[in-house]
Amino acid sequence: MQPVAAAVERLQALADSPRIRALAERFADAGHELALVGGPVRDAFLGRDAHDLDFATSATPDEILAVIAPIADTHWDIGRAFGTIGARLGELTVELTTYRSDVYDGTTRKPVVAFGDSLEGDLLRRDFTVNAMALRLPEKVLVDPSGGLDDLLARRLRTPIEPEVSFGDDPLRMLRGARFTAQLGFALEPATASAIEAMAGRIDIVSAERVGEELSKLLLAPDPVPGLRVLVETGLAEHVLPELPALRLEIDEHAHHKDVYEHSLTALTQAIALERSRGHAPDLVLRLAVLLHDIGKPATRRIEPGGAVSFHHHDVLGAKLATKRLRELRFDGDTIKAVATLIRLHLRFFGYADTSWTDAAVRRYVRDAGEQLERLHILSRADVTTRNQRKAARLQRAYDELEERIAVLAEEEELAALRPDLDGEQIMAILGIRPGPEVGEAYRHLLELRLDEGPLGPEAAEARLREWWAARPPV
């Protein structure tokens, strides 16, 4: 947390930058109010740099355009229906929004846009007090009608007005509360948390796209786990991601097994640490896959003779459940496919740890993972959450060995390609056949040989192809 005096100096320096000063003067000359609002003001007190700046103004969208067009490098009005005009001013990207007071009418899935008439009124309609501060321009006066600075210093999330009213106006704010606990490391004020518990069902009127976007932002936070716990503990997860609270499997005296919910959160924390240590940026696909990798367990849980617990085929079912949930949340097809692939394959490594794999098995592991191989490496490693240090060390050594074998085979065999020694055109020329199912059968046969035996070379591959073709039953 930046000292208050330093943060104020930071805000004033930003306001004194030539581009912002010129913008503020143009709005003032045109008779309109202008203020820097929300995240950039909050982040100044947190010591964070602001790259995209949000402004609130008394000007209407048409009036904003009239002021901004002459000095902007480019501008756009894709958010015009919501009162927002975007522009680029040199290195700065800015959004300027007419004072707002959005509400839901209780039946629609999108907020009804209503323009307000004062900065204070606009701020009181925002989600949390820490986001409801503004720097009035060009005067450079801090406006904080709801005590946001005090809450910021206390690392507390509180709504500017009664939480029941705020969440009734826009239920998505409840999800934002979970997200900000993850992004900022703040805690929900008790009355705010209680209101979320009481009103969790209101999230159902929010569009799936908006819910999916908030969940994505939460998962991409430096530490998503506190936010996920808020979702589960307040009951929001029952409405937006019910597979997550379902992981809290009951543990009885006859079936002692690990709590799958806590295991999944621990695995996510470990995956994020591996993500960083391996030099990757925050990865939504990976984090979704780790969080959801065991969601097939509740439906496949069985008590075996002797009291052991099994979850046979939870990987296959989990991939199907994840696909269904992510489609309902309107995730894109590539993300859904990648997450499902990772969940379906997440148990594969444990077979390697138990028995020695042949080179053919290693090749198949790489082939089946495809573009998801690096993510599968991280997921498989993160999935080891046992407290048995000897077992954990053994599994880590096994995966180290597997990655080393993959690297050696890749160098020797161009493993990433994993194609047969002959392509479709060559297969048709050798066998004298036209395009059709037989070409695909031949291609797959050569691919299996490639996986089992490694590169054969064109001549040996042709001989094996002719041998297979001659032995093939007549159609």
For the chain, give the percent of residues with pLDDT over 70: 92
pLDDT at 127: 94
Q: For residues 185 and 330, give the distance between their C-alpha atoms in angstroms, rounded to a whole number.
A: 28
pLDDT at 110: 60
Q: 238-284: per-residue pLDDT in tens?
A: 999 999 999 997 554 444 456 899 999 999 999 999 999 999 999 99
pLDDT at 451: 75
pLDDT at 109: 53
Q: 94-130: per-residue pLDDT in tens?
A: 999 999 875 555 555 566 667 878 999 999 999 999 9
Nearest C-alpha neighbor of 173 from the set 185, 187, 158, 184 = 158
Query: Is the pLDDT reported for residue 469 higher than 50?
Result: yes
Mean pLDDT along residues 211-223 = 97
pLDDT at 56: 96
pLDDT at 256: 47
pLDDT at 253: 41
Instruction: List helix spans (H) across 278-313.
Output: 284-292, 297-300
* Residue 108 parent element (H or E): none
Under the banding of pLDDT at 50, 70 and 90, the label for residue 136 is: very high
What is the Cα Rg of the chain in Å? 28
Q: What does the CA dihedral 321, 323, 325, 331 come to, rounded to 10 degrees?
A: 170
pLDDT at 450: 77
The larger pLDDT score, comparing residue 156 to residue 422, is at 156
Q: Which of 26-35, 83-92, 112-121 has the lowest average pLDDT?
A: 112-121
Summary mean pLDDT of the chain: 88
Centroid of chain to Cα 280: 14
The larger pLDDT score, comparing residue 154 to residue 438, is at 154
pLDDT at 171: 95
pLDDT at 184: 93
pLDDT at 111: 60
Query: Is the pLDDT reported for residue 46 higher than 50?
Result: yes
pLDDT at 114: 73
Query: Is the pLDDT reported for residue 356 higher than 80?
Result: no
Under the banding of pLDDT at 50, 70 and 90, the label for residue 386 is: confident
The answer for 300, left when phi > 0, alpha when psi is -120 to 50, beta otherwise, is: alpha
pLDDT at 412: 63
Q: For residues 267 and 270, give the distance between their C-alpha atoms in angstroms, rounded to a whole number.
A: 5
Under the banding of pLDDT at 50, 70 and 90, the label for residue 3 is: low
Nearest C-alpha neighbor of 445 from the set 465, 430, 459 = 465
Domains and CATH numbers, the chain: 1-153 (3.30.460.10), 155-241 (1.10.110.30), 246-413 (1.10.3210), 424-471 (no CATH)
Q: 181-207: per-residue pLDDT in tens?
A: 999 999 999 999 999 999 999 999 999
pLDDT at 57: 96
Q: For residues 15 and 386, give the distance between their C-alpha atoms in angstroms, rounded to a whole number.
A: 52
DSSP state of 311: -
For the chain, give the percent of residues with pLDDT over 90: 56
Question: Which range has highest mean pLDDT (69-78, 232-241, 421-430)?
Answer: 232-241
List the structure tokens of 129.
């007090």
CB burial of residue 187 (10 Å; 0-12, 13-18, 19+): middle
Q: Give 210's contacts (C-beta < 8 A, 6+ positions apart).
A: 172
pLDDT at 104: 56
